Structure formats: C-alpha cells, structure tokens
Amino acid sequence: MLWLAPMTIACSVAAVLAVREVAIRIVHPVPSFAPLTLTPPILDTILGCVGAILVFARMVDAPDSVRNYRRVAAVVLVLSFIPDVLLARSHEMGGGWPEAVFLMMMHVVVWAICVTLLPALSMSSDSKRSEPARPLSIL
C-alpha cells in the first residue's frame, strides 16, 4: 500500500484535472464558480482518494473484500452526487446543470480509478489474500 496509495491519488488528480480542463473549455464557467477553479478539485480528489484507500485497507482482509469494497464505493459515488445536484438546482456561485455534470464526471473518474487500481494492484496472484478467479465486475 505504500506505493499504491500515492499512485492512486496521482492518477486520480491527473484524471480530474483533465476533466476540469474539458469542462472549462466547453462550459466556460463564471470565475466565481469555485468548484471548477484549480484548488477545490485537487483537494477534494486527494481527500476522496485518502478516504477510499482507508476504507479499502480496512476491508482488504475480509472475505469477498473486493466485491464488498466496490459495493461500498458505488454507494458513496451515488451519495457524492447529492451536493452537485443541489448546486445545479440552486444555481449557487453561478453554476447550473452543465457545471454539475462535469463535477459528477470527476466523481465517476475518481471512483473508477479507485475501484480498479486499489484491488487490482494490491493483490498479487501468489498472495494468500488473493480471491478466487471470477469474472470482472464493478459490483
């Protein structure tokens, strides 16, 4: 986990910044729309990844850990959309649905990286913790 955590965070931040760049070029948000400025997406991504890493680290030794981790992550992903939906409906800070959709895309990108990298790279085929071979599933 010592190398996996920073790699997961770095990949997630890079992906979020790529989505942010596309959002800036397509939506042209007002400068007062803080969620699409540079610092908030980076900080939110780091905090979200640290949370995902901590949850995975606590669950990794349990039976069927990857499946359960992915279920928890899916629920957290859906819950993470709530502030974006509220922001879009209220039009606070000058944002609406286009900005909120890009914020939700950022959440999906981080979720996908966390549910893919953490399980895949933390368990080797010769590890005692490795689970039996199963078809890949996000749930």
Domain residue limits at 30? 4-122
* 8, part of any domain: yes
Residue position matching structure tokens 């069927």: 64
Per-residue pLDDT of the chain (139 residues; tens, 9 = 90+): 678 899 999 999 999 999 999 999 999 999 889 999 999 999 999 999 999 999 999 998 888 899 999 999 999 999 999 999 999 999 888 889 999 999 999 999 999 999 999 888 777 544 444 455 555 556 5
* 137, part of any domain: no
Give the global pTM.
0.83
Specify the pLDDT at position 126. Answer: 45
Q: Which residues contact 75 (CB under 8 A, 6 or more apart)?
A: none
* 133, part of any domain: no
* 134, part of any domain: no
Query: Could you give the CA distance from residue 125 to residue 135 in angstroms, rounded to a whole number?
Result: 15
Specify the pLDDT at position 120. Answer: 85
Helix (H) / strand (E) containing 38 = none
In contact, 48 and 110? CB cutoff 8 Å: yes
DSSP states of 4-21 as a string?
HHHHHHHHHHHHHHHHHH
* 128, part of any domain: no
* 103, part of any domain: yes
